[in-house]
Each structure stands twice: as structure tokens, then as C-alpha cells.
Chains A and B, each alone.
Chain A
């Protein structure tokens, strides 16, 4: 199975700053079938990005995804107060579908 490793584990930033989250796969992700999810405390995950770089419906353009093969990046250009949450990457190019362990973006 493909193991996804996210870094850093925790990112401490201030509102208005830029956040860069990394997701590295143990082997190439087929067709760059990689998604990013945001999870707020007590809530279900919410789809942000699919196919590595496509924004889901209703997602603000401050969220962007890049990458291919084994290395993927989620960038939040300017953090808003509601962006402080945990972010997960997930690959759906091969079975079993796997998730990264998550990156927590916290207020500095």
C-alpha cells in the first residue's frame, strides 16, 4: 500500500501568513489522484482539493494544490482565522486508499 507522510506535524503561524503543507508518497500516485481535506474540531473532513490541484466547489482561491508523482503541496496563501485546523492528504489512485497522518495548523 502507498504510505503518505505529511510534514510538518504542526505548523504555528499567524493570520495573514502563508502556509505550506507537504505530502510525500512512498510510491508514485497514479494519475496524481491525490486529495486534500480540512477537518475542524468535532466535524467531518471537508474536501478542499482533488486531482492534486483542482479546487472543490466553494473552496476559496487562497487554497491551492500542486505536485505530481510522489510529492504534493497544499498552500494557503493568506491564513484566515477559520483556516486553523487539521489537514489530511489522501491518495485514491490505488487500493487501499490511504491517508496521511495529518498536519495541524495552529495559531502562533
Chain B
């Protein structure tokens, strides 16, 4: 069965960087794009961008351009999302979500990133 397992919670200081991982299993990793979505406490869902695990192609939401990098390691079926120059309003749960080729059909369990001095 398809599973997306994310790395554990992180606490970071403002200005630092965080790198969240998402390990996929139960399907052919390179066949499906992966997206990242975040959710601030008590708020809605915000799309951040996607990566094509088959190559280096990525696309990022404009508001994260220059601060986010999505990468992958095909040898371990894992995608990564790095967010730099963290601010307090980056405190959120970060989710990876598999793209079925249109909609998000499977989600990771989420990773809480807390930014606090």
C-alpha cells in the first residue's frame, strides 16, 4: 500500500533553515510528482510547490521563491523540502502529498516545524 512517512518535528530559531523529508513506499517512486503543502496553526492549507522525482524539475509558489528548495534521492525513495531564512510565521505543519497526475491522492502524516527564539 502507498505510504508517505515524514521526518519528525523540528524547532528552529528565526533565520535558520529546516529540511523535512518524505519517504515513499508501495509504488514506483519516480512515476509520481510530489507536492508540499503547509498549514499554519488553526489555518487552512497552502500549496508550496512540487518536484518531479524522475528528474530535477521543480516548481515553487511565488511567495516561496528564493527560500525553498525541493530535492529527491531516488536511491531511498525520499523527497526533501528545505525552507531557509525561517520566520515565526513559518511555524506550521508541513505535508508532502503525492500527485496522482492530477489530484493529491496520498498525504504524509505531517511534520510540525516551530520557529521560535
Chain A interface residues (CB < 8 Å from chain B):
33, 35, 37, 44-47, 50-51, 56, 88, 90, 92, 95-102
Q: Which residues on the A side are within 8 Å of B35 (C-beta)?
A: 97
**Nearest CB in chain A to that of B59: its residue:** A95
* Alpha-carbon gap, A46 to B110, bound state (A): 13
Where chain A touches its partner, the secondary structure class is loop
Output the least CB separation between A61 and chain B (Å): 19
- Once the chains bind, are A99 and B45 in contact (CB under 8 Å)? yes
Inter-subunit contact B47/A97 (CB<8 Å): yes
Chain A neighbourhood of B102, CB < 8 A: 33, 50-51, 92
Interface size class for chain B? 10 to 19
CB-CB nearest in chain A for B45: A99
Per-residue CB proximity of B60-95 to A under 8 Å, as 1/0?
011000000000000000000000000000000001
Known contacts A88-B44, A99-B46; decide if A35 and B95 are in contact (CB<8 Å).
no
Can you name the residue of chain A whose Cβ is closest to the Cβ of B106?
A: A47
Does B29 make an interface contact (CB < 8 A)?
no
Question: Which B residues are CB-close (under 8 A) to A102?
Answer: 44-45
Known A-B contacts: A88-B44, A90-B104. Give 17 more (CB < 8 A).
Answer: A33-B103, A44-B95, A44-B107, A44-B109, A45-B104, A47-B105, A50-B102, A50-B103, A51-B102, A88-B45, A90-B45, A96-B61, A96-B62, A97-B35, A99-B44, A99-B46, A101-B44
Known: A51-B102, A96-B62. A44 touches B108 (CB 8 A): yes
Q: Which of B44, B59, B103, B110 is the one whose CB lies under 8 Å from A47? A: B103
Assembled-state Cα–Cα distance A50/B100 (Å)? 11
A35 in contact with B104 (CB, 8 Å): yes
> How many angstroms between the C-alpha atoms of A46 and B104 in the bound complex?
9
- Closest residue on chain B to residue A93 by CB atoms: B102
Q: Is the CB of B103 within 8 A of A45?
A: no
Query: Using Cβ atoms and an 8 Å threshold, which residues of chain B touch A47?
Result: 103-105
Contacts of A98 in B (CB 8 A): 47
Chain B 28-61 residues near chain A, CB threshold 8 A: 35, 44-47, 59, 61
